[in-house]
Amino acid sequence: MEFPDHLRYSREHEWLSLDGSRARVGITDYAQDALGDVVFVQLPEVGAAVAAAVSCAEVESTKSVSDIYAPVGGTIVEVNESLNDAPEQLNQDPYGAGWIFVLEVADPSEADALLDAAAYRQLVEEQ
């Protein structure tokens, strides 16, 4: 199970990579493993305003349907359209090709409330 040190993590198992005022978001290796084979991703709408900890996308797997939450608030500026044809990228490369959306972050300091890799690893080990 991977927990890249440069990312921040939510308790709902999303990761966030902040670059200035933009943040790329996806689900963690732990989340994709728990979901099983991903068969469909409902991407958020570009231009949609989202609030931290509010559902903005959905992932359907062979086991269940799970909400994807925005780790921080902002506006969706990009979505990973390739997931429409290849949702399995979430399983194969959750921290790379399997990213879900990019936010223009309203308040970058919100990311400070997210978990670092060590804290996220501890959270996962306790579950």
Query: What is the per-residue pLDDT across 10-53, written as a single tens digit (0 to 9) for each?
Result: 999 999 999 999 999 999 999 999 999 999 999 999 999 999 99
> Across all residues in the chain, what is the average pLDDT?
97
Average pLDDT score over residue span 106-112: 95
Does the residue 84 lie in any domain?
yes
* Position 127 in a domain: no
* Residue 1: inside a domain: no
Q: Note down the domain range covering 71.
A: 8-122
Query: Tell me, what's the pLDDT at 81?
Result: 98
pLDDT-derived band at 127, boundaries 50, 70, 90: confident
Residue 99 has pLDDT above 90, yes or no: yes
CATH of the domain at 64: 2.40.50.100
Note whether residue 2 is domain-resident: no
pTM check: above 0.75 = yes
Q: How many domains does the chain have?
A: 1
Q: DSSP readout, the chain? A: ----TT-EE-TTSEEEEEETTEEEEEE-HHHHHHH-SEEEEEPPPTT-EE-TT-EEEEEEESS-EEEEE-SS-EEEEEE-THHHH-TTHHHH-TTTTT--EEEEES-GGGGGGSB-HHHHHHHHHH-
Question: What does the pLDDT average to over 60-79?
Answer: 96
